[in-house]
């Protein structure tokens, strides 16, 4: 809503797993025997991938962005009723988590609580195919003035929907997916569309999750917004934005 790989071979996996644990292998490090785990810094740039190959699990360090950097400092932006919020960590804490990852202290990094697990890459790419119907170039192109949404329900059904085209100079825009309360994942976009009006240009605000987006989230879950005008993907929970990265990075690793 917005307003105006290492190959392993063993005979008995049942015996292999306890052996690893007996040797002091923690759960986070245990994952590295089976999956590629990608770690991104708070800006979404890869800092480590282990052991190499196909991406299976991706973590990003929580954002250090502030409300003003995500939602703007213009008086109209500050006063906008749909201005959302973010829940950042400090740059020092982000650097500490990055250091732990670089030292291969993966379990310690996870235990800080400052890593956000991204959805599987295949799912993110499917979402991106829908959201990138808006090419991010703004103006009055109809596809750039629509909110797109993808939903996966508890029964495994995946669907997509979209709003009607809107004019940013005439108010907000909202996509209304059916049965959202029964969804296990929900992703939607905020349009890049713009309209010139004399010396100013109207656009859809905010590009990050709106106040309503944040207030409507199911407790204990996370959701995703593609800001097509900002070219950023935002991961948020009931407290606000917890991670943000460039669209290409979200869809690549």
Percent of the chain with pLDDT over 70: 85
Q: With beta carbons less than 8 A apart as the criterion, state whether 47 and 98 touch.
A: yes
pTM for the model: 0.86
Helix or strand holding residue 108 (H, E): helix 106-111
| Distance (Å, whole) CA 207 – CA 203 | 9
Query: Which residues are CB-neighbours of 245 under 8 A, at least 6 positions away?
Result: 40, 43, 44, 60, 232, 233
Q: In the chain, what is the greatest distance between 2 CA atoms, to the nearest angstrom?
A: 73
φ and ψ at 10, to 5 degrees?
-150, 155
How confident is the model at residue 186, as a pLDDT? 95
| Distance (Å, whole) CA 168 – CA 236 | 24
| Distance (Å, whole) CA 33 – CA 43 | 27
Residues 202-244: pLDDT tens digits?
999 999 999 999 999 988 899 999 999 999 999 999 999 999 9
| Distance (Å, whole) CA 191 – CA 49 | 33
Listed range (11-15, 29-33, 156-160, 179-183) with the worst mean pLDDT: 11-15
How confident is the model at residue 66, as a pLDDT? 97
Residue 205 three-state SS: strand
Q: Span 29-56, mean pLDDT?
A: 78
CA nearest 9: which of 39, 38, 34?
Answer: 34
Listed range (24-28, 72-76, 99-103, 164-168) with the worst mean pLDDT: 24-28
| Distance (Å, whole) CA 142 – CA 126 | 22
CA nearest 115: which of 131, 96, 133?
Answer: 96
Query: Which residues are CB-neighbours of 124 under 8 A, at least 6 positions away?
Result: 118, 250, 251
């Amino acid at each position: 809503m917005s307003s105006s790989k290492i190959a392993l071979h063993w005979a008995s996996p049942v015996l292999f797993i306890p052996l690893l644990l007996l040797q002091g292998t923690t759960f986070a490090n245990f994952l590295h025997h089976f999956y590629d785990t990608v770690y991104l810094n708070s800006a979404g740039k890869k800092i480590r991938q282990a052991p190499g190959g196909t991406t299976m699990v991706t973590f990003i360090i929580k954002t250090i962005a502030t409300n003003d950097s995500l939602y703007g400092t213009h008086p109209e932006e500050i006063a906008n009723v749909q201005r959302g919020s973010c829940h950042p960590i400090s740059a020092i804490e982000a650097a500490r988590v990055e250091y732990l990852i670089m030292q291969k202290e993966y379990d310690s990094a996870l235990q800080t609580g400052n890593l956000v697990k991204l959805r599987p890459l295949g799912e993110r790419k499917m979402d991106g195919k829908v959201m990138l119907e808006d090419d991010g170039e703004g103006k009055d192109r109809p596809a750039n003035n629509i909110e797109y949404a993808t939903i996966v329900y508890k029964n495994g059904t995946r669907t997509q929907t979209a709003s009607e085209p809107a004019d940013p100079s005439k108010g907000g825009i909202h996509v209304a997916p059916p049965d959202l309360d029964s969804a296990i994942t929900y992703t939607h976009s905020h349009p890049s569309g713009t309209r010139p009006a004399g010396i100013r240009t109207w656009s859809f605000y905010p590009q990050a999750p709106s106040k309503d987006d944040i207030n409507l989230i199911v407790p204990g879950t996370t959701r995703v917004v593609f800001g097509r005008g900002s070219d950023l993907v935002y991961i948020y929970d009931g407290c606000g934005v917890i991670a943000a990265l460039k669209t290409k990075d979200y869809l690549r690793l």
